[in-house]
Amino acid sequence: MYTDPSYAKAEAADRQWTLTLGGYVLAQPEWAGSDDYEFGFRPLISISRADQLSRFTSFNDNPSIALFDTGVFEAGVVGKLNWKRDASSSNALTGLKDIDYAFEVGGYAQWYPADWLRLRGELRYGFGGFDGLVGDIALDAIYFSEPLGGITLSAGPRMTLASSGYIDTYYGITAPESVLATALGNPLAPYKAGGGIYSVGFGGQITKRFTQNITGSIFAEYEYLLDDAADSPLVVQNGDRNQFQAGVSLSYTFFLGFD
C-alpha cells in the first residue's frame, strides 16, 4: 500500500486521532452536462488516526470510514452529497423542474496490486433528489518525487455507472417539462433516459505536504458522457458531453491528543 515517504516516518508509531478540515476550490460545470462553468467549493473533512495520514487519497474519493483494512485491501462505508439543481440558474434549464439535494450512502473497497497502484470502487444508493444506484471505479498510478520537492503525483482512468433513477433525473425530460420549456423558448423534446455506463474519463493530481499539519493539492478531471446521458436533448442542444473539473485544495490537520 502506498504511503507518503515524507510523512510516514513521523507518524509511524502515532495512534492518536486527528481531524482534518479544509476544502476544494474548483471550476466545474454549472449543472451535470453543462457547457458553462462556475467556481464552486467542496468541503474536505476527514477523521483518522495519525498513523493513517500518509495514505494516498484522491479528489475522487468520497468521505469514507474503513471497517476492514489489511493494508493492501480496505473496505468500508462511504457517503456523498449531490448539490441541488435550480432551473432558474441557467437559461439552458428553462422549463425544467428543480432537483433537490441528494444523499448517497453505500460501500467502497480499494486494493493495492502494487505499492504504486490503487484500484478503488464505490457503490452508493441515492435518495432525496433522486432514487437509484451510482457506482464509481478509479485506477490511480502513484509516484512520490523527492527531486521535485517531495510531491506526490497520481493519475489514472475513471468510469461511472448509474441506474435509470439517477440518469433520468438529471438528463430526462418529461412531457409536461417539454411543453413548458418549448413555450418559454427552450425547445426540448420529451426524453426518457435509462441506466448503464454514465461516463468514462481520466484524472490526476499533485499533492504536497508542507508541514505535518498543512497539505495542498492541484487536481484536474475529465469526464466523457456516454449512452443515454450523452444523447439527452439537454446535452445535445444546451450542453456538452465533455465535462471538466479543475482546482486546488488546502487542508489543516488537528492532532487531538487522545487515542
Q: What is the pLDDT of residues 27-50, one digit of tens each?
A: 999 999 999 999 999 888 887 878
Query: What's the whole-number mean pLDDT along residues 80-105?
Result: 95
Percent of the chain surpassing pLDDT 70: 95
The pLDDT confidence band at residue 9, using thresholds 50, 70 and 90, is very low
Q: pLDDT digits over 209-245, tens only?
A: 998 899 999 999 999 999 999 999 999 999 999 999 9
**Whole-angstrom Cα distance, residue 25 to residue 135?**
24
pLDDT > 90? residue 99: yes
Residues 36-46 as b or e (16 or more Cβ within 10 Å = b):
eeeeeebebeb
For 184, the grid coordinates are: 418559454
Residue with cell 494516498: 56
CB 185 within 8 A of CB 228: no
- Please provide the size of the chain in residues: 259
pTM listed for this prediction: 0.88
Residue with cell 443515454: 228
Percent of the chain surpassing pLDDT 90: 76
The pLDDT confidence band at residue 19, using thresholds 50, 70 and 90, is confident
Return the pLDDT at 149: 80
- Please list, in sequence order, all residues whose beta carbon lies within 8 angstroms of the beta carbon of residue 176, skipping any fewer than 6 positions away: none
Distance from the Cα of residue 72 to its chain's centroid: 23
Q: Which amino acid appears at position 19 of this protein?
A: L
- Please list, in sequence order, all residues whose beta carbon lies within 8 angstroms of the beta carbon of residue 213, skipping any fewer than 6 positions away: 252, 253, 254, 255
Q: pLDDT digits over 55-75, tens only?
A: 888 998 998 888 888 889 999
**Whole-angstrom Cα distance, residue 40 to residue 128?**
21
* Three-class secondary structure assignment of the chain: CCECHHHHHHHCCCCCEEEEEEEEEEEEECCCCECCEEEEEEEEEEEEEHHHCCECCCCCCCCEEEEEECCCEEEEEEEEEECCECHHHCHHHCCCCCECCEEEEEEEEEEEEECCEEEEEEEEEEEECCCEEEEEEEEEEEEEECCCCCEEEEEEEEEEEECHHHHHHHHCECHHHHHHHHHCCCCCCCECCCCEEEEEEEEEEEEEECCCCEEEEEEEEEEEECHHHHHCHHHHHHECCEEEEEEEEEEEEEECCCC
The rounded mean pLDDT for the chain is 92
Residue with cell 478503488: 120
